[in-house]
Every structure is written in structure tokens, then in C-alpha cells.
Amino acid sequence: MLYDLPAPAKLNLFLHVVGRRADGYHLLESLFRLITLSDAVTIDLRMDGVISREPCSTADWPEADDLTIRAAKALQQATGTRTGAHIAIYKRIPAGGGLGGGSSDAATVLLGLNRLWRTGLTRKQLMALGLPLGADVPFFLFGQSAFVTGIGEQFQPATIPERSYLVTQPNASVPTPTIFAAADLTRNSEPVKMLDFSGLNRATVRFTGSDAFGRNDLEAVVKRLFPAVSITQQWLATQGVVSRLTGSGACLFSEFNNPREAVFAYEQLVAKMHFEQGGLKTVHVCDGLPIHPMQNWAVD
């Protein structure tokens, strides 16, 4: 039997680098929000214990680097189950876009197989299993908007107003290690407190210049190393659309009060971008999600 499961993307509504550990990992502060832009994960159970995958037509990576296969094998090893699975991923989330697509796919596999295999791990156990796979995997298992600290593994639930977004993909794919290795990356931002943005309102979420919650410390480095990101952001500005980088890039996001405003802006951009902006690949319209659509697939 085939099971079709969602794997939503996320946005970093802000992202600060506040330090660096002795082992080289960077200490972060960010506000993560799930959005409706989503990959689809299809799982077919196998009784022979084999973990296999369907070739993905939109991405080409070796099986050893496939987070979904690694996630399934990690769960299999941790629980001793003798059941296997055949996994297929249908990508909509741009790779290298800072939207957490690969991590989300892996989290969905963990949530899905934990239930389908009846292995019975709790959410916290799944989060611990997911952390070695990727820093964003535990967030998707946490499954709700969160103030994120540490290396991306510490979460406090956050309430964020309903908003709609345009997610714009420049003609670039940004490898996260390249950005964090840059000598000119800001690594000493002043830490913020949860109290500073509890009860978030429009004034703190909107992109207001020097507002502490309107900044991504990685953005300057990404735009320097990947000019397509800077060119796309500048072009969006000429169309009256303010945007900011999410995660380590390359995708930019723009916030709107409601879906109607977002769709209107989308239609205006799409009508012009093929003629005026050759470095822009796609624009997606999406809404914020308060919780992961598979939130009830794990017990706390």
C-alpha cells in the first residue's frame, strides 16, 4: 500500500549568528515558520527489510547523501524493525534554497515510518535521531513555529500572525557550508530574548530596515558569492516587492497580509520576469502554517 505524505518547507523570519563553538559549529538565533510550499513523500512498505528509493527526476544525488534513506536506516537500526520501505520524493521545494527541503523530507520519513512500522518512538526520540542527519531535521519533527537557538536544535514555541508569502528562487543553489566558512560572515550578533518578540505583531515581523527581527546575518555573504541572489532582490525592489533571504539562501521571501495580496503581487511579477529578469527561476505563492500537517503522527 502506498502512503502519500507532505513535507513542508520553512522560512527563517530572521536569522542571527551569535557565536561559534570550539568544534566549529555556529550558534544561531532564528524564528522558524512552516509554509504550505511542500514536497511529497511516497512510502511503500517492504516486508524484506530493504530500504530502497525511486530515482528523483528533479535532483541527482548519490544514495549515500540521500537524507530520506539515511533517516529510514537510522530508524531501522535504532528500533530493530525488520520491515523495509521504498521511498519516492516529488520535489517542489528548491534545493539549495534555504527552505529546509531535504531536512523536511527526512523528518517526514521518520514520522511516517515510525507510525507505519509501529516502532513507537516519541517526538523527542525522533528529534534526537534526526539531529545527526541535519540541523533542521529536529525542527520539522518539532512541528510548529519556533524560536530556535543553539546550533538549531533548541526550540521554544512561538505564535506568529497569519501571513502569506512569495518565495522567489534565483538561478542559484547555495551550499550552506560555503556560507558559514566565509571569513566576512557576521558571527557576533547581540543575542535577543524570547520576551523581545513574544506576542509578535506586524511591526516586529515586517521587514523594517534595522529592526533586529528584520535581518539575516548570512544575506550579505550569500549576495557577494552568488550575484544572482543580489540581482533578483534588486529587481524585486524595482517592482515594489521587499524581500529577504531565508536560511543560507538562495531563496528570497516577501510577506503579505493575506493570500489575495500575495496572488496579486505574484501575477504582476510573473507577467514581467521572463522579459526583464533572466536570473530568476520561479516564484511560489504560499501561506504560513501554524503546525506541521503530520504533527499528530508522533506522541510527545
99 and 246 both lie in a single domain: no
| Candidate list 66, 136, 223, 281, residue with the active-site label | 136
Lowest model confidence (mean pLDDT) among 50-59, 170-179, 229-238: 50-59
Kindly indicate the confidence band of residue 193, based on its pLDDT and cuts at 50, 70 and 90. Answer: low
- Domain match, 117 and 193 both: no
* Predicted local distance difference test score (pLDDT) of residue 277: 65
The verdict on 146 and 7 lying in the same domain is: yes
Contact between 273 and 239 (Cβ < 8 Å)? no
What is the number of helices (H) and of strands (E) in the chain?
9, 10
| CB crowding 84-117: b at 16 or more within 10 Å, else e | bbbbbbbbebbbbbbbbbbbbbbbbbbbbbbbbb
Regarding whether 117 and 14 lie in a shared domain, the answer is: yes
What is the Cα–Cα distance from 166 to 246, expressed in whole angstroms? 12
Mean pLDDT of the chain: 89
**209 pLDDT higher than 50:** no
pLDDT, tens digit, 9 for 90 and up, residues 110-147: 999 999 999 999 999 999 999 999 989 999 999 999 99
Whether residue 106 has pLDDT greater than 90: yes
Catalytic site residue 10? yes
Determine the Cα–Cα distance for residues 286 and 181; give it in Å rounded to an integer: 31
Segment 157-179, tens digit of pLDDT: 988 889 999 999 999 999 999 99
Are 154 and 168 in the same domain? Answer: no
pLDDT reported for residue 62? 74
Q: What is the pLDDT of residues 116-126, one digit of tens each?
A: 999 999 999 99
Domain final residue pick, 134, 158, 182: 158
The domain in which residue 198 lies consists of 164-289
pLDDT band of 55, cuts 50, 70, 90 = confident
Per-residue pLDDT, averaged over 31-43, amounts to: 97
The answer as to whether 249 is a domain residue is yes
Give ∠ CA 123-125-126 in degrees, rounded to 5: 65
Asked if residue 52 and residue 92 are part of one domain, the reply reads yes
Give the total number of structural domains in the chain: 2
Same structural domain for residues 77 and 202? no
